Amino acid sequence: MNPVLLVIAHGSRDPRHAATVQALVRRAGALRPGLRVETAFLDFNLPSVPGVLDRLAADGVRDVVALPLLLTRAFHAKADIPAVLRQAPPSLSIRQAEVLGPSPLLIAAVERRLYEAGLTPGDKSATGVVLASAGSTDPEAIAVIAETARELRRTGWCSVRPAFASASLPRTEDAVRALRAERGVRRVAVAPYVIAPGRLPDRIAAGAAGADVLADVLGPSPELAHLLLERYDGARAAHRPVAQTA
């Protein structure tokens, strides 16, 4: 039997967050009929990670791929998720998949949202994009966001600047102003580099007030659904449990 795919999201008091996560997970499951896919949250929402793990063990499941629903490998992926997985029932063998980013599929998802917001491929050469993420104090995560901005720029946008809703600088509104001052930039678009709505995405939207275009969050895009399965397959092929109780 294939390992169960357990998608672990952070969670939020904002009900839109859990609804978006569930929609994304359903879309991924529909792409792989027969694969058991479960969702759990670290905080704020149910079901909790321990609750789902207990239920899987009670169902006789033996193998699980735990997939952090995170765009960068920051504190939650390095500490919180491994810690909760180590408390799983001893009958479970758990492999922790890589986080979602970086990936060309994420670049494609960002562009999809920009086009849905009204831009076209022909607008690229005169449009500056603010790639606005939630933010982190982890240098590795910040470096990944910066590299993702460079990769997005290589697809043909006039200019791309990273920005952060918290923990790091610049803020979205500062990046918007900086792009306005750049030569050749005739319009500015803000692309939230976040998966689901919530407090920090709302802060990004507020900072985008001076932009011409505000794209939607990545949400249950087909690119993200395929990426979940790509990370699942990568962890399954590794054949080595990366998080297992004694």
Tokens standing for 123? 């607008």
117 in the same domain as 183: yes
The whole-number pLDDT of residue 240 equals: 63
Where b means 16+ CB within 10 Å and e means fewer, 148-177 reads bbebbbeeebbbbbbbbbeebebbbbebbe
- Report the predicted TM-score, pTM, of the whole model to 2 decimal places: 0.95
Q: How much is the pLDDT for 156?
A: 98
Same structural domain for residues 136 and 72? no
> What is residue 246's predicted lDDT score, i.e. its pLDDT?
36
Rounded distance between C-alpha atoms, residue 12 and residue 14, angstroms: 5
List of the chain residues with pLDDT < 50: 243-246
Bridging pattern class, strands 127-133 and 4-9? unpaired
CATH number at residue 147: 3.40.50.1400
Same domain, 56 and 145: no
Q: What are residue 244's DSSP bridge partners?
A: 93
Residue 74 has a pLDDT of 86
Residues 124, 160, single domain; the answer is: yes
CA 56 → CA 40, 171, 237, distances in Å? 12, 42, 21
Query: What's the pLDDT at 75?
Result: 84
Residue 64 host element (H or E)? strand 63-68
